[in-house]
Structure formats: structure tokens, C-alpha cells
Amino acid sequence: MTRRPWLAAVLLLIFAAGAAAQGISSSTAYYEGQAGWTAVRDGRHQDAATHFAAALAADPRDPSLHLGAGTAAFLLGQLQDAQQSLERALAMAPQLTPASLMLGDILTRSNDTAAAVQVLEAALKYAPGNKTLLERLERVRHESELHANFFQSQGAHFTVLFEGPADEELARRAIEVLEAAYWRVGTAMLTFPERVIPVVLYTEQQFSDITRSPSWAAAAYDGRIKVPVRGALENPEELDRVLTHEFTHALVQSIAPRNVPAWLNEGLAVYFEPQGPAWIDAQLASSNYRMPLQKLAGGFGGLTGGRARMAYAQSGAAVRSLMEQAGPQAMTGLLLDLGRGEKFETAFEQRMLQPYESFAASLDPSR
């Protein structure tokens, strides 16, 4: 399950900051900057990056342009570049709250929650009543305090945080499962995440407090894989399933950080689970209840347990159909297009060689 509920509020602040930019000394910087903000608003992330690079070449002293470059890099999943641009923006204009919020998120996703707290606390001096900032700071402080006493286990592609020595064996097992998933799913999708992925093992109460996920959620991904322990060593098959599912979300986000419909994101995660195809068939055979694919685009968090289970099964079936018809290369191409900011229907038809509406209708038993 993926969670990014704060992003819309931050982007609204960013659009306002970009629209209010004043004093750009170069006409080239001004027009390229305005074109960059328009591209961000329209979801054309690669175009936005190109425009902001041109604007900064003309005027590297304007903090709003560094904010724009950081925003474009963030939306493209280029977190290191985004961090550098946002730090430059804040060095010039520490009152840029959107830059602080986005930088805080990048640091949090790297498990550097202490640094994220410092960034957000500094921002609070300039915007003491900002509700989004206050809420983010409260949550990151809670995580920072909790993680301060956690232990850490390091793998080649994953870092696992866990509460104490009693969970050390589980942390080792988690790394083994995740490294296997890294190579299996990455090979199938013809791509691999470049960054080391943080993983946090929580008690059930900690997981509920930190993620605020629905009660049926077995894990969460927000740039970090978060898993409630729930006696995982006694049920290794469930641990393998959950970790593989969440790693697939990390892989999808590394290709397309934005614009991926929930059914596609969750469907890929289910499809790559151990025994995923068999589970899909069993769930679909157990009930005649179906939802139109278009209604599964926005997320499953508001669904009850039974309907959520069917949403996952339907999504997995849709992805399996696409993988059988077009193959993994087309699927990765679709994600790359979405990551660049192309509209979903356009990218789908280009990569899957059929209109999205026709595909969705073919899966609807009521038609």
C-alpha cells in the first residue's frame, strides 16, 4: 500500500510561490521560469526540468528558480538533485516553506528524520501558523524520537531499522527476502532502483500510529517500506509476500514517482507476489463483486476489508492481462512515460496498442 497524502498541499504552496516570484533580472529567466511552473502544474515534469535549467543558466541567483528545479527533480524521482536544489533555494530564501516541506520529506525518506526535524523547525520560524508544516513536523518528530533507539542492519540494496535484539533475526530475514525480490522483480521489469531503500520494522501499534493506514493494511510504502512485525518469523510465506509487494511499489516509484493509477501500482505489486497469480484467481472465483477499473485509479484506503481484497485481485488480474498481451518491456515503457508526465490515456494507448477505455471495458463483466 502506498501513501503520499501530504503532497497535494505542498504542490499548492509551490504553485503559489512560483506564481508570486518577483525580481527576476533576466527576461530569459523570467519566461523560462514561468514555462517551468506551467509545466509543473500540467504534470510535464521533464519539460519543467528543462525550463528551470535554462532559467537558472540565465539567473542563478533567484531562489524561486532553484525551488522550481528542485520540484521538477522531486517529481521525476531524482531525489539527490532535488535535495541540492532545495538546499540552494533555502540558503537564499529560508522563508520558502514549500522548499522546507519537500526537503523534509526527502530527508525523512532517507531515514534522516533528525535532519528533517531541523529543516521543518527552521521553517516554522517563518510560518508559525502553517497547518501543513505543523502537521508534518509533529509526525516527523514522533518518528525521529522512535527511531533514535532503533538498531540497524545493512544489506546491499536495503537498510533495515528494528526495535531491539529480539528482532535481529527478522531483520536478517527481511534483507534476504528483499534482495531476492530486488533481482527477481527488477529482472522481470528490466530495471532496478538505484538508491538504497530504507525498511522499518514496527510493532502493530507503532505501525498504526506512524502510517495511519487502514486496519487491513499489512504494510505501507511512502519512500520507505514499513512493516508491522506480527510474529512474522512464524509465518515466513506472509513475510515474503508483504516484502515483495512493498518492494514492487519501490520499484514502480523509482520509474514513475507520480501519475500511476492505484490499480496499476497495486496490481503490479500483487502480480509479483509469490503465488500472486494463484491468489488473484482464488479471490476472483470467491465472489462476483467487481468494480469498474476507472474507480480503482484513486486508491483503496477508503474500502472495507472485503472490497479492498477484491480491488487488489481485480488490479492484479488487469496487470496480468497487460503483461500477457504486451509484455514487461511495454509495461516499463508505460511507467517511464508516466514518470515524464505524459497523460495516462495517451501513454497507455501508445504502449499497450489499445485505448484504455476499451481495455477497461473488456474487464467489466457487466458489459
pLDDT of residue 3: 52
Class of domain 151-253: alpha beta
Cα–Cα distance between 199 and 161 in angstroms, integer? 6
DSSP symbols for 263-326: HHHHHHHHHTSTTHHHHHHHHHHH------GGGGSS-STTS-HHHHHHHHHHHHHHHHHHHHHH
Q: pLDDT value at position 364?
A: 72
Spans of all domains in the chain: 7-147, 151-253, 262-362
| CATH domain 7-147 topology | 1.25.40
> pLDDT means per 10 residues in the chain (367 residues)?
53 54 66 91 90 94 94 91 96 94 92 92 93 91 88 92 87 94 96 91 77 72 84 76 93 92 96 94 89 88 83 95 95 94 94 95 72
Say what the pLDDT of residue 14 is.
58
User: According to the model, what pLDDT value does residue 24 have?
Assistant: 46
User: Helices in 7-78 by DSSP H: which ranges?
Assistant: 7-19, 27-42, 45-58, 63-75
pLDDT at 15: 54
Residue 17: predicted pLDDT: 55
